[in-house]
Amino acid sequence: MAEDVLQVNHRHVVFTIDEGLREIFQRHRYLLKPLMDEAVEIIQEWFKKKFKITPGIIAGLHTFGAQMNFNPHVHMLVTMGGMKINGEWKVYDYIPFPMLRKQWQTVVLKLIRSNLDETEKKKIQHLLQKAYSANGEGFYVYAPRQKGNVKVQLGYIGRYIRRPAIALHRIEEYDGEYVTYRYHDKKDGQEKRERLTVEEFIKRLIVHIPDEQFKTIRYYGVYSRRIKARCKKLISVWQEKVRKWIVKVKKTVKRRKWEQRIKEQTGKDPMVCPHCQCYYEYKGEVCLKDGKLEIKYASDEVARACLERTICDITGIKTTETPQKEEVSKPEEPGDREEHSQLYLFAV
């Protein structure tokens, strides 16, 4: 999946329904396709109304819970941004999912009512009413921010959306009559085990086999098969322009050296002597420590000797310290000394 999508940031979005409504979708499986479409429509409408852009969405329908119970919910891989009419890509990383919960609740309840006959609606009216009153903030919508680079995000989410009802590594034991498997209980966060007869295990498993011709993975927006190739080409051009712009900005805001900053502020090069106009090079520092002048840094032995003479001239005291080895710069070429003088800077 990572090769099929745009190399932009994505968000993993999950739309769930009330537990009491699961049986309705199990009995009327033709509602599962509209359930996916309605979840996608909510996200698309938000982007279109707010920013007039079309996002890319890959939706996957899961009908299973941790214990292989029937629990239909929609997973979506959503681009954090979308394409404008002119082909420009606009980045946006905020979707008000708490606000969308009420919309999702309304859409699901309306979907059920509009697709069932009057007799069936009377039978399930108490379930619909309970689902509405028990979820004051709407049905649960989950959309965590993804960590890592784009490739890592897409790899993880892609595997999650395509996963089966139960992975083989979760099955711990099979003796011909019973199957023991482990699962993660989201209610208390604990890992638990369940032992089922082979018949019960198969019964739970086959419920999640999709109907003939039913696609559990669907593509919407800029990922729809009709326009995906064109969109990828336009976005590649946009990304190349952005990349060049970023490189240009980095060069512009590149960190300047202290002498460059002083030169911009004063108009004078601090490394040029105002009297003789010779160019000087930084070679060392002398600092005051415990009432004495000491060499803090010297780039080479010549610089150290010069600094020692300077200290002696100022204080009248000859330094007797043993020279410590300092970082030695590359020896100057003879021609270099003829071209410029050297300044040994120190601070008192």
Distance of CA 320 to the CA centre of its chain: 60
Per-residue pLDDT of the chain (348 residues; tens, 9 = 90+): 555 677 788 888 999 999 999 999 999 999 999 999 999 999 999 999 888 999 999 999 999 999 999 999 999 989 888 888 887 888 887 888 888 899 999 999 999 999 999 999 999 999 999 999 999 889 999 887 766 666 776 777 777 788 889 999 999 999 999 999 999 998 888 999 999 999 999 999 999 999 988 999 999 988 887 766 666 666 666 666 666 655 555 555 556 677 777 887 888 888 888 888 787 777 888 888 887 888 888 888 888 888 888 888 887 766 555 444 444 444 444 444 433 334 445 443
User: Residue 75 corresponds to which tokens in the numbers above?
Assistant: 């997973």
Task: For residue range 226-248, list pLDDT tens digits in order.
Answer: 766 666 666 666 666 666 655 55
Tell which phi-psi region holds residue 121, choosing left (phi > 0), alpha (psi between -120 and 50) or beta.
Answer: alpha
In degrees and rounded to multiples of 5, residue 277 shows phi and psi of: 65, 20
Neighbours of 9 (CB within 10 A): 18
How many C-alpha atoms does 200 have within 13 Å on its Cβ side? 11
* Residue burial 251-264, b: 16+ Cβ < 10 Å; e: rest: eeeeeeeeeeeebe
If residue 59 lies in a helix (H) or strand (E), which one and from where to where?
strand 56-64
